[in-house]
Structure 1
């Protein structure tokens, strides 16, 4: 048996055993000048040096006192990572799902790092994990599900990054860098097919226009059928139909100045994200009387409204009775299919998304100091339909019409003094964001508008310096000052139709419109002893039409915060570094925009804070064949912004205080020249220490949403042969996550038990290194796990869950000139 056959047998044995670890064989990203050095390290059998920019300057990841998961563009392609959410499968204590709770958007995500994040996608609520693309902050969850086309690198920074990154990096930061134009001609073409009629095509070209100017362009189109069948019309949900493109010009007129101008676009014309009706709950009464620590409330039932006042009136039983389950004209539990891949949803099937942006990055080398400017503009529009009731009838229908833009400017001064013994980063940041989400809602008892307009400003200045106390000891203090103002105008929130109009003689316009008159803009609620509105209420000055659900007045939230950080790292040897750090992060408050039938004032929530303490060890062993990094941390979490139900829809509340403790083990190994392995294990112990009464029904015993106790990942990249016959590489990966709830109130319908996901693929490169064929399977064992959802049994009468995509095969062919 020859040597290559032995390698094949060893590889097949490894794959069949289920051992699958993240790949580390491709040259690691970083400076162009480091490519040759990385190639030498790899050819000698060791692991490549990883260069990161976690501190706004390029440095060895093993000498950076931050917990980082970094991947090169080649590693992303090898692992078949299609979007930013899939990156989480390779990083411990990171949970990113390609969904937004109570959203039909196919372009949104929910991100948590070390137990900190945000489940609400509304434009009045900020994400808890910051996403940066080529140095530009992405301000909204909708649009955060980035496609991974022609990516140079991805870095995941765990823990608060409140000093250098600041804006909403209270949980951590995800840094995505595109490949830059270079001085060599490059052409890549790729086509893919697969399950659900998948048809993808991608093209990349890099052209050195002159000695000083280079251009790089990428365009990709991805399409596949949805995996959830709509039984009403035979249509499908959960599809893919996306075009993305980017063009960048890099100009280097001298050795000291570089300018990169880039423009990008993403157009999606997709169906609604797949959502499964888990439970339907009818009500015999219009109003549900619910007692909480904050008082007793009367909430309307949507199912009662449809069955007794709307389309089912006269057919679905009298008041005081439940609708008959055997009547197809009524809303009831008959519409629960029991199959996560089928739905009776009958509303509009649409999730459109349009994004374009431009950014200009300029760098000027002043010797020991480099001045960098990042100027950017992003504009996005989304139309998102969500059939909340998941029945053939119009009972609960939501439409988000998001239209917003952001402009940002960042200046950085990065350099060193005193013979490089002091390295510093000084900078300033400004972000302007304006937009609106005018959201029509059709419920069984009323139709109304939610949403409104936002107008936000964020200013910041930051300074961080690393002092080399000795050749082995360094200390890095840092500080950031942030001044933010968030404005919200809810004037568009009005009730347009009240289905109770004419039902009760005292309320000719409807009981809910009268509720609005008696609450919105009044000094105090004008209600009768039985909880119903006083029939004599008249509109107030801030409720001119008498049908506003919030006062028609712009409100604002301001925050001025200092977020310090300090770390110390000690090089015990050239291959072992230890560090200890403290960091603070904050996320500004905002406003709840989901209100019905009325509120005295616009409900607001205040900023939340995390203070993190961490010690870590970074090692490279056995002549750089094993890399092992350890981190242990504790995070004190205060004024936690959580989403709870209060009436018709979810609202953000400051829930109280918590503590998160945990550790991470992460690393890579190259036991042989033909095998590369990555591994990671994360543990989190997250608990509430105090809970505010306004966060009912959350208690100190509640579990954090989207925070599994254990996460683990293993992946392997094995070169079966690389000779005159070509090159064959076999890859496998495994990801595990322990059980977790998908909402803060711990709805049992949204509890996902522990699960594991496997993937495998093989790539064969034909001799000549120009054509590569890749075949593989994602979600090999067809594990169907809950990614998100929403439960509202009182008003909506439903429990919904979004499940992962099923097992899918794919086949790709790529050409590189």
Structure 2
């Protein structure tokens, strides 16, 4: 009954949209000026073929190079503000400032550590990027970004259960040209970008090189040492070589590398609190005095709200915090026209990523939670696509195969309530009871801790050092077929068979006491899944497209990534999603307006749920991942772009989403009435720009954007103290272009009203911590560019 009701609502949305569109389409032609002021046609490759955005029967938001610049989108993190039902944030605090936690239509993953995988795939020039660390990529030299909503289980497959983000860099075109751009701004911002494209041999070989250096001080200051958090220190290079080997064969070699040296995520402490059974009180009674003496803190210092600054841009942290990330990749794309109707494409790629992440999660002088992590990752992928047309172009098909291998290792040291075990060892005897009602000291086996060599002390030695590695092989075969039943009606059928095998190793100890968290263990699992897709699309006329799709996606399972004792090391299985979508795409008013509407219903099964609770045995963290629930998600998106007159453009996007758990294991510890995290009910954006000529002095364009997001929960428990209330952000930009369009000068202000809001937050009851990463405050900037 639930599914029928939701589908009925989706159909109602589509019928209503179709009725509105019909009214506009059948309006007198005089409403549009003859042949005038048409919108730029945007092409996408969402279905792995070049086609107009308006002719692709999928829900996709596309940003062109000029669109990215006009909206001030310089980083992957900025995309969500202008894309309905999308949320992109830093995720868990120990992932650092480069981690990209991406949610589309409520589906994603906020944890960065393997073997946990992202729920939304990022693709760079057709190459899947496996890790979310480093995912907050700079978008210099990017030609287009496409955000595909819903499971992409046929053409993309791996870890696209929630959707995919396609990033397409610019290519050399055989012509000479380039651009130099400099941006200055608040907090000593200085960005330099330069790119050049040039021919090497006539009509045969051409190349491009693009470099960027982005630098800006952070917007959160540490009160102890003045260190700035949330800073930018990124260097990027992208290079490409295009070879027309023959009339039928083109080879493109692509190289990219980035170097990041930043201070860490701009977090701050919201509050401390004491939960039943937690270590908050015990740590302050025993561990905190030792640390306070060692650090020279004022007498009586404990971990409490004195380190809450009350200012979102001040932090009381003192521990190490940095993000070092070196990433590079090389790919080869071969396009071979085997005949007039059949083509072969090969995409071969290799990538490496080395990262060092240090975080101070308690944001105080006490090492309540500090992490120090090193990750080394390598991946190789090979994709083959054979595509063609038949039946006089009525049938188009794509047959493909995919292989992916990833090898990644992690060396970690995490301090948890550091000083507690050391203080117990320094006591003259066993004076501290572990359970109520016990009088200490008492003879063993009474549960009393304290005293040098007391074996029970090790229960409260929590500084853990895991060494882990993961080897993943993924193989897939896929087929995608579209057939024009008539001039107006087309059917699409596709499917992908995926096989994935993971081998995971962990060896984890508590170095101070030698206690074993997880003994050296290697385990292998494999999963396989067939994910089909079926769709119908109907062209009402050349300007209006109706479509409906049914598709499936899945994400493989793994192992609990943070076991703190042997019993917590356990497997979890794959999760699955079935999606229904109906939509309308339209060109209106003689192509002066586009309006796209999509409604969706997703049945999310065996959801991999992360649980953060208090371990009843010792009051420490209990971190688990289980297939603990099923949830239904439904909603819609609508996006509009219009040219009201020459030089006057407006755009708007709105997303609505709701969700309901259908089942939830009691082990999760939270209510079945809760809502998914990172799934705001309403996401809205709107913008307008007006440009006019200055006689022979160029052109001036004024643009304004507004972004609104309704209340958002930041964890599955829906903890109210870290839920972000609804907020609105305003941005503005004024641009001057020279008459010959060679020079451009722009001044902009972001977050004009200086709105305070946080993009991610955590509640850790075992240690009484609630922290948050706030969005960027108001800032201004000025950029100057020269094209040649």
What's 2:175 paired with? 184
**Deviation at 1:784?**
1.8
What's 2:366 paired with? 393
**Deviation at 1:565?**
0.3
What's 1:472 paired with? 488
**Deviation at 1:332?**
2.2
The one of 787, 790, 799 equivalent to 2:770 is: 799
- Distance between the aligned counterparts of 1:314 and 1:358, measured in 2? 50
Contact 1:306/1:312 (8 A) holds in 2? no
The one of 24, 39, 47 equivalent to 2:39 is: 47
The one of 694, 706, 709 equivalent to 1:734 is: 706
Partner SS, residue 624 of structure 2? strand
Q: What is the correspondence of 1:320-719 to structure 2 with a 5 Å cutoff? A: 327=299, 329-367=301-339, 368-444=341-417, 445=420, 446=461, 447-450=463-466, 452-491=468-507, 493-498=508-513, 547-596=515-564, 598-600=565-567, 602-646=569-613, 647=615, 648=621, 650-697=623-670, 699-719=671-691
Distance 1:649 1:74, change over 3 A: farther
- Distance between the aligned counterparts of 1:268 and 1:174, measured in 2? 22
What's 1:169 paired with? 160
Distance 1:310 1:700, change over 3 A: closer
- Distance between the aligned counterparts of 1:239 and 1:196, measured in 2? 9
Distance 1:475 1:704, change over 3 A: same
Contact 2:86/2:103 (8 A) holds in 1? yes
Distance 1:261 1:66, change over 3 A: same
Contact 1:469/1:475 (8 A) holds in 2? yes
Partner SS, residue 487 of structure 2? coil
What's 1:815 paired with? 786
What's 1:517 paired with? none
**Deviation at 1:326?**
7.9
Contact 2:288/2:302 (8 A) holds in 1? no
Contact 1:88/1:94 (8 A) holds in 2? yes
**Deviation at 1:313?**
7.2
Partner SS, residue 366 of structure 2? coil
- Distance between the aligned counterparts of 1:233 and 1:328, measured in 2? 22
Partner SS, residue 334 of structure 1? helix
- Distance between the aligned counterparts of 2:281 and 2:131, measured in 1? 33
Contact 2:95/2:111 (8 A) holds in 1? no
Q: What is the correspondence of 1:711-790 to structure 2 with a 5 Å cutoff? A: 711-721=683-693, 723-790=695-762
Q: Are 1:76 and 2:68 an aligned pair?
A: yes
Contact 2:356/2:375 (8 A) holds in 1? yes
- Distance between the aligned counterparts of 2:120 and 2:292, measured in 1? 50
Gaps of 5+ in 2: 1-32, 421-460, 616-620
**Deviation at 1:184?**
0.9
Contact 1:687/1:701 (8 A) holds in 2? yes
What's 2:147 paired with? 156
Partner SS, residue 490 of structure 1? strand
Query: Deviation digits for residues 323-357 of structure 1, max 9, x if unmatched?
Result: xx984633222111111111110011311111011
Contact 1:454/1:489 (8 A) holds in 2? yes
- Distance between the aligned counterparts of 1:182 and 1:67, measured in 2? 30
- Distance between the aligned counterparts of 2:224 and 2:65, measured in 1? 42
Distance 1:307 1:348, change over 3 A: farther
Query: Deviation digits for residues 651-677 of structure 1, max 9, x if unmatched?
Result: 322221111111111121111111122
Query: Deviation digits for residues 157-193 of structure 1, max 9, x if unmatched?
Result: 1111101001111111110100001111112111111
Gaps of 5+ in 1: 1-40, 290-298, 317-324, 499-512, 514-546
- Distance between the aligned counterparts of 1:214 and 1:259, measured in 2? 11
- Distance between the aligned counterparts of 1:92 and 1:640, measured in 2? 23
Query: Deviation digits for residues 120-152 of structure 1, max 9, x if unmatched?
Result: 111211111111000000111111111110111
- Distance between the aligned counterparts of 1:391 and 1:92, measured in 2? 37
Query: Deviation digits for residues 627-651 of structure 1, max 9, x if unmatched?
Result: 1111111111111112211431543
Q: Are 1:128 and 2:119 an aligned pair?
A: yes
Partner SS, residue 119 of structure 1? coil
Distance 1:605 1:42, change over 3 A: farther
Contact 2:330/2:351 (8 A) holds in 1? yes
**Deviation at 1:103?**
2.0
Between the two proteins, the alignment pairs up a number of residues equal to: 703
Q: CA RMSD in A?
A: 1.9
Q: Are 1:233 and 2:225 an aligned pair?
A: yes
Distance 1:723 1:374, change over 3 A: farther
Q: Are 1:60 and 2:31 an aligned pair?
A: no
Normalized against structure 2, the TM-score is what? 0.87
- Distance between the aligned counterparts of 2:344 and 2:141, measured in 1? 27
**Deviation at 1:311?**
5.1
Partner SS, residue 741 of structure 1? coil
- Distance between the aligned counterparts of 2:526 and 2:669, measured in 1? 26
Partner SS, residue 304 of structure 1? helix
Partner SS, residue 92 of structure 1? coil
Query: Deviation digits for residues 59-103 of structure 1, max 9, x if unmatched?
Result: 122222101111111211222211112111221111112x12122
Contact 1:581/1:614 (8 A) holds in 2? yes
- Distance between the aligned counterparts of 1:738 and 1:451, measured in 2? 40
Contact 1:113/1:129 (8 A) holds in 2? yes
**Deviation at 1:601?**
6.0
Query: Deviation digits for residues 476-524 of structure 1, max 9, x if unmatched?
Result: 0000000001221012x111014xxxxxxxxxxxxxx6xxxxxxxxxxx
What's 2:3 paired with? none
What's 1:520 paired with? none
Contact 1:303/1:331 (8 A) holds in 2? no
Normalized against structure 1, the TM-score is what? 0.84
